[in-house]
A and B are shown apart, each in its own frame.
Chain A
Amino acid sequence: MRLAEIIRLVWLNLSQNKFKVVLTSVGIIVGSATIMLVIAIGTGSREEVAEQFKNLNAGAIDVTYGGEAQSGGGSDWFSGLFSFGNGGEMPSFGGGDGGGMPSFGGGSGSGSGRSSGGGRSSDGSRSSGGSGMPSFGGFGGGSNGDDLILTQADCEMLLEEVDGITDATIAYTTTTSVEGGDHSSATYYTIAGVLDNYAQISNLSMAIGSFLTQENDESKEKVCVLGANVATEIFGSAYAAYDGIVYIDDRPYVVSGVLEEMGTVASGISPDTAIFIPYQTGIKYVTGEFIRPTITVIAEDVNNVSAVMEEINAVLEETYEGSAFGLSDAGSKMEAATTSNQTLTLLLYSMAAIVFIVGGIGIMNVLFVSVKERTNEIGILKALGCSRKDILMEFLLEASCISFVGACIGVLLSLGITPAVELFHVRVSLSAQGAMLSLVFGVITGTIFGFYPAYKASRLVPVVALNQE
């Protein structure tokens, strides 16, 4: 029989059994919707990881001393994902939720001043560069003494003595009350004491004005750069904030610039919700001498990070004998995040595969029933001289068409479900490729599972089939 004629007959059969088509394809509908969402969620979380690390330089190495090791770091995404009650800390999937991100090396900057969510140590307004990331070299050997404080001099020493690094900076954070602009009462904000090269190292760019300068630092000037959210909260807009005055610990600071909005970041200071002031200014007016800063060193060659880390350790060891420093590198943080992201994606894909198998078995059952139902018709076709090949073809095409329809409905369904999924702060990134893939998978599954019933149908003995009522 001509293929075109078989297709026409298939169309005739299916168009008269629309309800059956939908019922048969329920499994495929669910399967396709699942795979579509799985791809969308997988892509979404990959994008999210990329976005969260956009303020990190791949060659960055954080050096801390005396920080407290904290759990919930980037290596632990999985447990973070599946333990929802964990202090609101839901890594990666909290699109736009700046508060509870796993954080390290400098404290997180949630706008609410929450001090338990991220990597900030709990010693009140005095802040540290608590590192919660997979780290190299271990932490301060249990002695959490305040005797050793990393300084700008250490930073310069590393830059000088360690080979293969391009830049180094030092920063600390604290939380303190801030007044000014439209705010009538004081609000707590993350204050970051940073050097002039911090913006460049953290990939920050200015919305208006300019970043802090070396001169600001040397003269301990009371100037500041506001994160995008801080500017809007205090002044209404970046434009209004520029050249304004904010009162940090009741001392006036001139706003020399406002940062562009950065969004959620996985680590470091969350720039949107922080106020940046010169390093020395902060020590003089805000924190005092007792700070726990983080030195960030940028390795020239990303592939050389571990060697650079060893060298840093050696140099520090030499200078401060007997003290252990916390070293962690951005690369392995990214890697850890990517790995757990991949594990997550794999999990989602296996889920989709199971759904497809179940859906396929469903289609097979219904097609078997359909073959039984239509035994007499098959008998007639055989008596009239329809070949096995044609019967196989007809039933197989029917299965593929049913699953194609099912896959289409499934894709549409996934579009409908997406807003519901997004309610759970899961980032869903729908794509045409995802839709294509789920269509293809749906049709293939339906066809594979439709084959056996179709084969059975083609093998029926004509006399026997005809006598069936």
Chain B
Amino acid sequence: MAMIEMRGINKGYMLGEERLPILKNVDFSVEKGEYVAILGPSGSGKTTFMNIIGCMDVMDSGEYYLDGVAIHETKERDLTEIRNKKIGFIFQNYQLIPTYNVMQNIIMPLLMRGMSHQDAEARCMETIRLLGLDQRLEHKPNELSGGQKQRVSIARALVGQPAILLADEPTGALDQTSGKEVLKLFSEINEMGNTIVMITHDLSVAKTAKRIVRIVDGQLME
């Protein structure tokens, strides 16, 4: 079965009395090991869609299977665990916890699985080396550059070895050079067998992915 299998997804927001539809009857599937870019202009519903893929928001109707689990039938309590084990989030604005240093930020998903911090730290050393963060472990997020912050965020998403990596505008806040570095990292990570779904409004960014899906008028087009 596909890693992501979505059928007839609908999602809208209520604006006063009126319902504003954002996703209209969307079908979407991603196979294991794929690297997909979802491309669309601002306000087209990309973040809304990602929140649904990431099990952070509920859809109005439709079926969603993630790695074989029927998400549309799962309660919030269990969704917490699914987010922790199956999904690695990479946010546009990094979303690092400012009071924790790099190491503490990276091991958070492992701690939530009940690991001790010693075990968690040992386990993420490889990822940290891969992302070149060895020298920055004691730093707080506000002592890092944008590119470094995004690498911390990627490391955090990777350590849990999730079923999919979800990235919302991962290069949005970065300059071109750091942006390119991050995209190169994504390709490498994908080569290593990770499934990636990346969201962007930038065609040149989308082109680094193996497959591009456009979101137009609440519908997906290959």
Contacts and interface: CB of A to CB of B under 8 A. Distances in A.
24 contacts: A1-B114, A2-B115, A5-B117, A9-B111, A12-B99, A12-B100, A377-B99, A379-B95, A381-B97, A381-B112, A383-B89, A384-B84, A384-B108, A384-B112, A384-B156, A385-B84, A386-B84, A386-B108, A387-B81, A387-B112, A388-B77, A388-B80, A463-B56, A463-B57
Contacts of B56: 382-383, 462-463, 466
A384 B56 CA distance: 10
A252 B2 CA distance: 119
Given A1-B111, A5-B111, A466-B56, A384 B117 contact: no
A5 B116 contact: yes
Contact of A13 (B99, B114, B156): B99
Given A17-B99, A380-B95, A385-B80, 19 more contacts: A1-B112, A5-B116, A12-B100, A12-B104, A377-B97, A379-B95, A381-B112, A382-B56, A383-B83, A383-B89, A384-B84, A384-B89, A384-B108, A384-B109, A384-B112, A384-B156, A387-B80, A387-B81, A388-B77
Contacts of B77: 387-388
Contacts of A9: 100, 104, 111
B88 to A, nearest CB: 9
A16 B99 contact: yes
A4 B117 CA distance: 9
Interface of A: 1-2, 4-5, 8-9, 12-13, 16-17, 376-377, 379-388, 390, 462-463, 466
Closest CB pairs A-B (n = 8): A385-B84, A385-B83, A462-B56, A380-B95, A463-B57, A463-B56, A5-B111, A384-B109
Interface in B90-133: 91, 95-100, 104, 108-109, 111-112, 114-117
Contacts of A466: 56, 91, 95
A15 to B, nearest CB: 9
A376 B95 contact: yes
Given A8-B117, A384-B156, A466-B56, A2 B80 contact: no
Contacts of B99: 12-13, 16-17, 377
B12 to A, nearest CB: 15
B162 to A, nearest CB: 10
Contacts of A390: 112
A1 B117 CA distance: 11
Nearest to A467: B47
Contacts of A4: 116
A34 B140 CA distance: 40
B32 interface: no
B44 to A, nearest CB: 17
A379 B83 CA distance: 13
B51 interface: yes
Most chain-A CB neighbours within 10 Å: which of B82, B100, B109, B112? Answer: B112
B54 interface: yes
Contacts of A379: 95
A109 to B, nearest CB: 68
Contacts of B97: 377, 380-381
Contacts of B72: none
A412 B96 CA distance: 38
A2 B112 CA distance: 8
Nearest to A385: B84
A386 B82 CA distance: 11
Interface in B54-71: 54, 56-57
Nearest to B101: A12
Most chain-A CB neighbours within 10 Å: which of B96, B99, B116, B117? Answer: B99
Interface residues of B, number: 29
Most chain-B CB neighbours within 10 Å: which of A4, A379, A383, A386? Answer: A383
B85 A385 contact: yes
Contacts of A380: 95-97
Nearest to B82: A385
Interface in B188-216: none
B57 to A, nearest CB: 5
A146 B216 CA distance: 117
Nearest to A387: B80
Given A383-B89, A385-B85, A388-B80, A463 B51 contact: yes
A175 to B, nearest CB: 75
Contacts of B115: 2
Contacts of A5: 111, 116-117
Contacts of A385: 80-85, 109, 112
Contacts of B111: 1-2, 5, 9
A385 B160 CA distance: 11
A306 to B, nearest CB: 69
A71 B194 CA distance: 92
B114 A2 contact: yes
A384 B83 contact: yes
Contacts of A1: 111-112, 114
A377 B57 CA distance: 18
A382 B114 CA distance: 15
B116 A386 contact: no
A383 B112 contact: no
A385 B86 CA distance: 10
B34 to A, nearest CB: 22
A114 to B, nearest CB: 66
Contacts of B114: 1-2
A12 B80 CA distance: 24
Contacts of A382: 56, 80, 83
Contact of A383 (B85, B95, B116): B95
A97 B117 CA distance: 63
Contacts of A12: 99-100, 104
A1 B113 CA distance: 6
Contacts of A386: 80, 84, 108, 112
Nearest to B162: A385
A381 B97 CA distance: 9
A310 B59 CA distance: 89
B10 to A, nearest CB: 17
Nearest to A469: B93
A5 to B, nearest CB: 5
A390 B112 CA distance: 8
